[in-house]
Amino acid sequence: MKNIRVRFAPSPTGYLHVGGLRTALYNYLFAKRNNGKFILRIEDTDQSRYVEGAVENLINALKWSGLEFDEGPEKDGGFGPYFQSQRLDIYKKYAADLVKNKNAYYCFCSPERLTALRDEQKSQNLQAKYDKHCLSLSETEIKEKLDARIPYVIRLNIPSFEKVVFNDIIRNRVEFDTATIDDQVLIKSDGFPTYHLANVIDDHLMDISHVIRGEEWLSSTPKHVLLYNFFGWEIPQFAHLPLLLNPDKTKLSKRQGDVAVEDYRAKGYSPEALLNFVALLGWNAGDDKEFYYMDELIEKFSLERVNNSGAVFDIQKLNWLNTEHFRKLPKENLLSQLKSILADSEFNDANYSDEYLLLIIESMIERVTSVKEILEKSPYFFTDPLSYEEESKAKNWKPETPELLNELAKRFALLGKITDKHDFEKPLKELAAEKEIGAGKLIHPLRLAVSGMSTGPGVYDLLYIIGKEKTISRIGKAVKAI
């Protein structure tokens, strides 16, 4: 079997789409499963769509996800450069060979003529295609136009009345009639190649064995097959992945939710959960298992088990997987994440001990789905409450509450060294018994006073973590504020 070499070849147009992440992941899994190489290539020939910083964002998103490429920018494996904009002379050479062999031709048609041609075809309900007008130009006419520096493109000369047939690992036999294929532009008027020419040349020169990409490129594949045949090159194996769909079965788009890997990272989703989730968008191992670590995905993955129908992006499933991965993480990992998040937060000037942070993690682990949510749902571990939940005030803060809480604070002050959360429980229950009230009459306003909220970990856990001094101080502030 030929050495397995696959590539992920994004355009630097902004963020890494979750569909792009799935394509990268499937390429990565296939390479690792077969002891192959995973290559990152930047397809930046469309300069009009180039976004500053996008390459760095792409690489950072891949690294955050755990998809380390074997070759690519700053990782030369002998097949570089890995930016298409640095390979222009290569494309021009091969384009010239195609023209010389009549497999491509110069086209000098003006934008106005092309627009008029499309409008005429549209009015007759015909497929919009170039009419090969410039294919009939003589060598003399071509030379005169080139000498006159008339703008031109180079087009692929699609043969007439032929069938282009290729095998797709996911879709099996695929067949196209050349009558439906346009004479694709290969070199644009700015001298840059289009995707079609550049990717075929690069895949050949980089010795790519399998082209694993999205379904949207399936209709372009016959053009690529023709190019391979014109050059006399071996055709790689193709695998076109199914579309990602919104719940309403439309193509996944930002209009219906987040589509960027960066968005999910910012919201606190773990890379392990996101990769687990996107792996299942179109693939399964033939069983009902849904929770996977990376090493298990590598062991189980095969292109033959990728579906050919669209996969629905179910955010509820992602949330469930994120929670499962989160709760299985070692405490040391959670601690490291929490420290990192705190360092980038408004609480970055405080010096929290590992013991304190681990107590917080332990108390919140069943109440959140990410480390980031700890700060969002329990800021009271890091700062005094700045406000108090209105609904809880109306329900739990009675006229007698300030007097009861002040008395409770006095009893807390008499406690010696706190060694257990139940140290707070005894004085609270004694006071409730003396006043002949239910413990809830104290617990609910006490929670509100020390946290500003009505929900969270057990109230005694909360008091134990923030400590006696802070508990007493916050009770005093709440009595004055509410």
Supply the DSSP string of 377-423, one letter for each residue.
Answer: H-GGGTS--SS--HHHHHHH--TTHHHHHHHHHHHHHT--S--SGGG
From first to last of its 482 residues, the chain has per-residue pLDDT tens of 579 999 999 998 888 999 999 999 999 999 999 999 999 999 998 877 878 888 999 999 999 999 999 999 989 999 999 999 999 999 999 999 999 999 999 999 999 999 999 999 999 999 999 999 999 999 999 999 999 999 999 999 999 989 999 999 999 999 999 999 999 999 999 999 999 999 999 999 999 999 999 999 999 999 999 999 999 999 999 999 999 998 888 888 766 667 899 999 988 899 999 999 999 999 999 999 999 999 999 999 999 999 999 999 999 999 999 999 999 999 999 999 999 999 999 988 888 999 999 999 999 999 998 898 999 999 999 999 999 999 999 999 999 999 999 999 999 999 999 999 999 999 999 999 999 999 999 999 999 999 999 999 999 999 999 999 999 999 999 999 99
May I ask the CATH architecture of the domain 390-481?
Answer: Orthogonal Bundle (1.10)
| Whether 182 contacts 75, CB under 8 Å | no
In 10 A of CB 30, how many CB atoms? 23
| Whether 208 contacts 7, CB under 8 Å | yes
Helix axes 440-451, 468-481, angle to 10 degrees: 90
pLDDT of res. 254: 67
CATH among 1.10.10.10, 3.30.379.10, 3.40.50.300, 1.10.1160.10 for 261-379: 1.10.1160.10
What single-letter amino acid sits at 166?
A: F
Provide CB contacts within 8 A for 354, sequence distance 6+.
335
Task: Report if pTM > 0.75.
Answer: yes
Q: Judge whether 429 counts as a catalytic residue.
A: no
pLDDT of res. 256: 61
Judge: domain 87-241, CATH 3.40.50.620.
Answer: yes
Residues 102, 143, 254, 410: which is the catalytic one? 254
Residue among 367, 399, 381 nearest 452 (CA) = 381
pLDDT of res. 257: 65
pLDDT of res. 321: 96
Residue ranges covered by each domain of the chain: 87-241, 261-379, 390-481
What single-letter amino acid sits at 461?
A: D
